[in-house]
Structure formats: structure tokens, C-alpha cells
């Protein structure tokens, strides 16, 4: 097994998990529906936030560069990561550093984790609702109300009263129309390339790390080896034993932490499937159109699909017809991932002749 695929099924309820003028969505032209989604970048951030919390370490620092022109105007410059695999979020998340002017060689590492957006399990099983809300403080006698004229000057109380004469208008209540909320069943996929998970390629023409970083990693016990991408340095066993359980927990237990406070949803995990076959992982958690009703689809979790390990939580029983839901489903899914990642021979990847 060189690639591990993980599909996660979650339920969201009346929430906002990716903001752009309310809940972000895309339009499904086949079913003519607006489908809410969370971008792969947001999921990646959520996974690595969980990873940092599990290992109790701060993520790698980021360098933001700005330029000032002759008019003293601030212009956007480059953004640099540390490009150091000693930081777990860099090792698993990848990096790129391209210096302005081309005076330094670009270093880049593709993340060994390919992370999809979280989107509806089926266009008929997820959607967006609109609601109008208000910010109402009309019951508080100590509010301060400021009304400004076209010059930005505050009006007096008498001027405000004259302005409101004959108008049914409250100044302690604001209407906020057309707020989008997401709900339904959502899936998200992650693929782990085990060949690159703990390996950093040594290629002077397309470098992943600087020579200084390479020297330091060697001193820290990283072992030189070779994989299909060429010579590489492999993280020592002690590092792998520390990070693998944390990564497994982050992948299984991630949650979107950027919810708006007033639209929180647990977004509980209903099922997780793990396989080395991308087609089977897609079949393991899916939806099927009804044969009897128009515009009706049913969620399906294949609990005994050959080549796929599927774990169904107790919460799934309220939304999907299942037979094998258990209280420790997610714990067993984590252990399955740990076993797979620990069993891979990172230091001897190529078959000997």
C-alpha cells in the first residue's frame, strides 16, 4: 500500500462553515441547486490546527514581506514558509519559497496529503437556506445613538427627533437580510502518499530544502535513503512514532473551527472509510437516487465492502440505515490509520533486485 484514501461523512445543521457573503456555495447545474461547501484549504487548516493541538506545538512561523515604493505606499510582497520539515505542519503540509528577483533557487515541497473540499454527499442531500435576522437592542435604555449628516457631523437630539417625525423607524434595531445557512450530509476525502509522508527529496536541481536545512536534519538523525523520487532523507523512527498517532487523530477528529459564534454546529462525523483503492472509497459512502420518488436521494454506507474498512458512529443511525454503528467507531478508524502508517517501510521503499 503506497496511498491511503480516507472518506469522511459529516452532518451539518443550520450553520456557516465557509464565509463569502454568507455561506459560500457553488451551483450544481445537473440538479439546479446551490450546494454549500468548505474549501480544501479550510479543511487543511482545520486538520493542521488539530495536529498542533494534539502534539501541543505551535505551527511553523510565516514571513510576510512588503515593499515600500517611492511614494511611501505599501505594496504586497512575498509570503515565505519556513521550509523546514522539523515542523510537523511543514512536513505534512508542504511549502514553497520563491524569492523576488530570482537571485535564490526556489525550494518547494508538495504536501503528501491531498485534501479535497467538503461538499454535499449528493446535491439533493445538502443545501442552502436563507433567513432574515435582526440585531435588536431596543429593550436597553442605555443605548447610545449617533446620527451623522453628510459632513460626518453628529446631529443633536432635537434634529434626530425632527428627522424621525412621521417615520416608523427604530434606531436600536438593525435588520440583516438574506443570511445563508448550510445543512445536510457532506463528504470529504484525503489521500496520503506514504512514499513522501516522512521523506524529503534530495535533488539539487529541484530542491525541497536548503543545504543548511539538510545538514541540520542529518545531525538530528534523519537517514539517507532512496525512493521512486530519487535520493531522500527519512525522518527517524522516534519522530514517526510521535507524529503518526497525532496525524491519525487530526485526520479523523478534525473540525472546522472558523464557524460564526451564532451558527455553531457540531458537524458530527457519521462514518469514515479507509482503503487503498480510490474507486472503492468513492463507492463506500455514496448516495442513490430513489426509484419511486422524483428529486429524492438516499445516503448509503457500504459496511462490508471488500477492500474497504468502514467505521460507522452511533450518530449515523439517525440519518442512514446501518447495522454496524458502534460507540468506538472513530477510535478504531484512528487505530487503523496508525497501523497502516506504522507498517510502511519508509527507509527501504525500493524493491531490491
Same domain? For 248 and 271 the reply is yes
Same domain? For 112 and 149 the reply is no
CA 138 to centroid of chain Cα atoms: 39
pLDDT in tens, 203-262: 888 888 988 999 999 999 999 999 999 999 999 999 999 999 999 999 999 998 655 667
Same domain? For 150 and 235 the reply is no
> Which of 344, 336, 341, 269 minimizes the C-alpha distance to 309?
336
pLDDT on residue 353: 43
Same domain? For 31 and 52 the reply is yes
Same domain? For 27 and 174 the reply is no
Same domain? For 124 and 265 the reply is yes
> Does the residue 351 lie in any domain?
no
Q: The domain containing residue 173 runs over which residues?
A: 133-178
pLDDT on residue 261: 64
Give the separation between CA 191 and CA 113, rounded to whole angstroms.
Answer: 6
> Does the residue 54 lie in any domain?
yes
Tell me the H-state helices in the chain. 40-55, 88-93, 157-164, 194-197, 211-219, 237-253, 278-284, 329-343
CA 348 to centroid of chain Cα atoms: 32
Same domain? For 185 and 316 the reply is yes
Which of 17-21, 260-264, 283-287: highest mean pLDDT? 283-287
In the block, which residue shows the cell 464557524?
A: 259
> Does the residue 249 lie in any domain?
yes
Same domain? For 259 and 327 the reply is yes
Same domain? For 262 and 332 the reply is yes
Global confidence as pTM: 0.87
Same domain? For 212 and 323 the reply is yes
Residue 121 C-alpha cell reads as 454527499
Q: Which residues contact 215 (CB under 8 A, 6 or more apart)?
A: none
Give the separation between CA 5 and CA 189, rounded to whole angstroms.
Answer: 7
Same domain? For 262 and 217 the reply is yes
Domain boundary among 178, 193, 208: 178
> Does the residue 305 lie in any domain?
yes
pLDDT in tens, 18-72: 666 677 888 999 999 999 999 999 999 999 999 999 999 999 988 888 888 888 7
Amino acid at each position: 500500500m503506497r496511498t491511503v484514501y480516507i472518506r469522511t461523512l459529516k452532518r451539518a445543521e443550520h450553520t456557516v462553515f465557509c464565509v463569502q457573503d454568507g455561506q459560500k456555495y457553488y451551483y450544481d447545474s445537473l440538479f439546479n441547486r446551490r450546494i454549500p461547501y468548505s474549501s480544501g484549504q479550510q479543511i487543511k487548516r482545520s486538520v493542521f490546527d488539530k495536529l498542533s493541538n494534539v502534539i501541543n506545538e505551535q505551527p511553523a512561523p510565516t514571513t510576510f514581506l512588503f515593499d515600500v515604493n517611492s511614494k511611501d505606499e505599501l505594496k504586497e510582497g512575498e509570503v515565505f514558509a519556513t521550509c523546514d520539515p522539523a515542523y510537523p505542519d511543514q512536513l505534512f503540509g508542504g511549502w514553497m519559497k520563491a524569492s523576488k528577483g530570482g537571485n535564490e533557487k526556489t525550494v518547494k515541497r508538495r504536501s503528501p496529503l491531498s485534501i479535497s473540499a467538503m461538499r454535499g454527499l449528493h446535491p439533493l442531500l445538502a443545501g442552502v437556506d436563507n433567513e432574515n435576522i435582526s440585531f435588536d437592542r431596543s429593550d436597553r435604555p442605555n443605548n447610545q445613538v449617533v446620527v451623522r449628516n453628510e459632513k460626518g457631523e453628529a446631529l443633536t437630539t432635537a434634529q434626530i427627533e425632527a428627522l424621525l417625525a412621521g417615520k416608523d423607524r427604530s434606531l436600536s434595531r438593525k435588520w440583516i437580510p438574506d443570511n445563508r445557512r448550510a445543512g445536510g450530509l457532506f463528504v470529504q476525502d484525503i489521500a496520503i502518499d506514504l512514499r513522501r509522508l516522512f521523506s524529503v527529496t534530495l535533488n539539487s536541481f529541484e530542491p525541497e530544502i536548503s543545504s543548511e536545512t539538510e545538514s541540520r536534519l542529518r545531525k538530528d538523525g534523519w537517514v539517507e535513503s532512496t525512493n521512486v523520487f530519487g535520493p531522500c532523507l527519512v525522518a527517524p523512527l522516534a519522530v514517526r512514532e510521535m507524529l503518526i498517532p497525532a496525524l491519525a487523530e487530526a485526520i479523523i477528529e478534525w473540525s472546522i473551527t472558523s464557524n460564526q459564534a451564532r451558527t455553531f454546529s457540531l458537524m458530527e462525523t457519521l462514518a469514515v472509510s479507509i482503503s487503498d483503492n480510490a474507486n472503492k472509497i468513492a463507492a463506500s459512502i455514496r448516495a442513490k437516487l430513489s426509484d419511486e420518488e422524483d428529486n429524492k436521494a438516499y445516503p448509503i454506507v457500504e459496511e462490508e465492502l471488500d477492500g474497504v474498512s468502514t467505521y460507522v458512529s452511533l450518530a449515523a443511525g439517525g440519518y442512514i440505515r446501518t447495522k454496524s454503528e458502534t460507540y468506538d467507531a472513530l477510535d478504531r478508524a484512528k487505530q487503523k490509520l496508525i497501523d497502516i502508517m506504522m507498517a510502511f517501510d519508509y527507509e527501504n521503499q525500493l524493491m531490491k533486485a
